[in-house]
Amino acid sequence: MLIDAHLHLSGREDAAGVLRSLDEARIDVAVLLAPFLTDPYRMEDRQSLRDGNRHLSQLVDGHCDRLIGFAVVNPMHPEAADDLEEAVERGNVRGLKLVPTGWYPYEDRAHRVYERANALGLPVLFHSGIFIDGRSGRFCRPTFYEAVRDHPGLRVTLAHLGWPWCDEANAVGVIDLINGVPPDASQFRFDISFGPPPAYRREVLAKALAVLGPGLIQFGSDRFFPCSGAHIRELVDEVHRLLSELDVSPGDRARIMSGTAAAWLGLPCAKAGTPEGGEACQTAA
Ligand SMILES: [Zn+2]
């Protein structure tokens, strides 16, 4: 069982192509983010985000056993919470992706979106750490996301281990463990979609495993469709190589490659965290 919990749609792909690439990469379940970084979809343009969410919903329709759609909204838009609800009502949206660009995760306008996501029972994936636009890193420091604790039901993932603030990300994540909260009940988990450049990856992963444990770490490739399965598989193989170098047990490896995300997403196979190549689970919806 392999779950890629961080894949981007560009708006130029179709379901058949996505499924073909997933087959080629031997990925069982994929979290797909509505387009927001590729023309004509832009974070600042509310209508384009609504269009992107519609594209997402249409693309995953009929494939909910493998494709898990995450809508994108921008809390800078006063209607963001309603836009999220609109996307959910259309169907096939099972989570929310947020990128703080121009807003801080502890602002009131962000809380309004968290509140709605919580009411709708949606897991949230946050970008965290330095951002590709070269302008928004300052909005995405891991400690800023402690604001989600005002919404105890929310289960969030911080992407990229907060790179380059990975120590800060570990510090945020370890608090629930210190307080005896089991990993699946923790408000925070972290994806290892690479933020860190290759020279840092082994060290970053080793520290995250030592501090957070596999129970709070999940795989994500952060690849953009349309792309080949080989392009995604490269990152799967790189993570496996690093996990081998770090002597990670088969059980812990299965947790990282599927179990953590399955629990976060509420998939019925969450408990098992079956090894890659093991039986794929049936999803609820
Ligand atoms: Zn991403």
* Regions of the chain where pLDDT drops below 70: 269-285
Q: Is residue 84 part of a domain?
A: yes
Q: What is the pTM of this model?
A: 0.94
Number of domains in the chain: 1
Q: Is residue 12 part of a domain?
A: yes
Q: What is the pLDDT of residue 275?
A: 59
Q: Is residue 115 part of a domain?
A: yes
CA of 63 to the centre of ligand 1 (A): 22
DSSP H or E run through 68 = strand 67-72
Q: Is residue 283 part of a domain?
A: no
Domain that holds residue 232: 3-271
CA of 160 to the centre of ligand 1 (A): 8
CA of 161 to the centre of ligand 1 (A): 12
Q: What is the CATH number of the domain that holds 101?
A: 3.20.20.140
CA of 105 to the centre of ligand 1 (A): 17
Q: What is the pLDDT of residue 95?
A: 98
Q: What is the pLDDT of residue 283?
A: 39
Query: Which residues are CB-contacts of 146 (< 8 A; sequence separation ≥ 6)?
Result: 106, 172
Query: Which residues are CB-contacts of 6 (< 8 A; sequence separation ≥ 6)?
Result: 31, 33, 125, 159, 191, 193, 220, 221, 222
Q: What is the pLDDT of residue 272?
A: 44
CA of 75 to the centre of ligand 1 (A): 18
Q: Is residue 241 part of a domain?
A: yes
Those residues whose beta carbon sits under 5 angstroms from the ion ligand 1 are 222
Tens of pLDDT, residues 26-84: 999 999 999 999 999 999 999 999 999 999 999 999 999 999 999 999 999 999 999 99
Cα–Cα distances (Å) from 275 to 8, 127, 262, 265, 270, in that order, read: 24, 27, 13, 18, 12
